[in-house]
Amino acid sequence: MSLLQSFLRENTTLDVCARDGWFYAFKKGQSGPGCDSEASGAASNAPIAFRADMDALPIPETICLPYGSKNPGISHKCGHDGHSAALCGLALELSGMETARDVYLIFQPGEEIGAGALRCRDLIQEKGIAEVYAFHNLGGYPEGALVYRRGLTQPASEGLKIRLTGKASHASAPEKGNNPAGVLAGIVQFAMGIAAKFQTSKQELDSTRSCNEFSAVGQEKPLHLSAIGQEKPLHLPMRLCTVTGIRLGEGDFGISPGEGEICMTLRAEVESEMKAMEEAVLTYSESAASDAGLGIKWSIHDYFPETRNHDAPMDKVLEAARKNKMPAIPMEEIWRASEDFGYYLKICPGAMFYIGNGEQYPALHTAEYDFNDRILKKAVDLFAALI
């Protein structure tokens, strides 16, 4: 973060405004407010913002790069360094431009865990920002192409951790303890099967359920979606539950363990559907733990809302691509990875779009990946056109 701030202060004319664990750079419009003033103005020259994430991943750097990570076990394998570089490039462009509107460049931490946007999004209302944009680099598409999707573009997700507590004993006398292995196995089977069993079409749901309840698999009582703000039958085109970790004992052949833990990621198109899956998994787990005489605790981690684009800002993105002679490719299916940019879009019109790395480019979150610097100018040109 300090490197980015230093670069902007030394090489651009933008104001750099530090906040707690993040910062933004500011370009004053011809008739706009200062860095700490309250923003105002008509829609034609209302403030605009662009967001870059700047956090890394717990993946070792295995590629020999002159700019490679100096921190063991940590590297930019999602391209957030490239996203930040693109905003620095935009700052260089802005230094030589006159703008009719105020421009804010938000450098955000914590995207990978869904926490950064919550720390930064108050700036949107504080400064009266009327539009907000971000991009992500994406493999599997032609290099330099704009990739876009109207409406829902990335799903909601959360991490669910369930911990079971029983009693350890000698492996020769398991009846003297309470090993949670059987309950853990049941939770695994339930969790892995629930997403597929929730894949019910709207027509089937209408014909088999009343409009305010959905009976989850393995539940004796119907799951009332009205209790979580859902009054109508759900459309359920994508639900996914991925078991990401299981821990039970240390593998010592003489000990029957008394504690166990399971971690899973729940993913759905909207938060209410995701929470319905969570409720079903927890209801099953609590019932199974109670029947087995086990203690149970659970917690939610890495919570992401869905990312849903607004039509008018997306129209502007497509027009900016046309002016820059960038091919525009519609994304037929949502990108299943979650993105906390959705928090901004809940309070401000805007759009998340993507720029292709190349059809055979290494995938994100892999050791082989490094941000494709050749797409940087494409991102800067699109942002400048949006201003």
Nearest to 345 by CA among 337, 353, 335: 353
Q: Which percentage of the chain shows pLDDT scores above 70?
A: 85
pLDDT at res. 36: 46
Nearest to 116 by CA among 23, 244, 2: 23
Q: What is the mean pLDDT of residues 360-375?
A: 95
Q: How confident is the model at residue 199 (pLDDT cuts 50, 70, 90)?
A: low
pLDDT at res. 232: 45
The pLDDT of residue 203 is above 50: no
The pLDDT of residue 255 is above 50: yes
Amino acid at the residue 43: A
The overall average pLDDT reported for the chain is 88
Predicted TM-score of the model (pTM): 0.84
pLDDT at res. 192: 85
The CA-CA-CA angle for residues 361, 363, 364, to 5°, reads 125
DSSP string, 57-91: BS----S--TT---STT-B--SSHHHHHHHHHHHH
Q: How many residues does the structure list for the chain?
A: 387
Q: What is the mean pLDDT of residues 340-350?
A: 98
Nearest to 324 by CA among 239, 382, 242, 370: 382
Detail the DSSP E strand segments found in the chain.
Answer: 15-19, 22-27, 48-53, 103-108, 131-139, 146-148, 152-154, 156-165, 169-170, 239-248, 255-256, 259-268, 295-304, 307-308, 328-330, 350-358
d(CA 305, CA 341): 9
Check residue 150 and report its DSSP letter: S
d(CA 299, CA 1): 30
Q: What is the pLDDT of residues 129-147, one digit of tens each?
A: 999 999 999 999 999 999 9
Yes or no: say if 310 and 350 are a contact pair by the CB < 8 Å rule. Answer: yes
Question: How do the residues of the chain divide into helix, strand and coil, expressed in percent and rounded to 5?
Answer: 30, 25, 40
Check residue 227 and report its DSSP letter: G
Q: Which percentage of the chain shows pLDDT scores above 90?
A: 80
Query: 70 CB contacts (<8 Å, ≥6 apart)?
Result: none
Query: 150 CB contacts (<8 Å, ≥6 apart)?
Result: 309, 311, 314
| β-strands 328-330, 146-148 pairing | parallel
pLDDT at res. 368: 95
pLDDT at res. 223: 38
> In a 10 Å sphere around its CB, with 0-12 CB exposed, 13-18 middle and 19+ buried, how is residue 176 labelled?
exposed
d(CA 218, CA 279): 12
Q: How confident is the model at residue 343 (pLDDT cuts 50, 70, 90)?
A: very high
The pLDDT of residue 229 is above 80: no
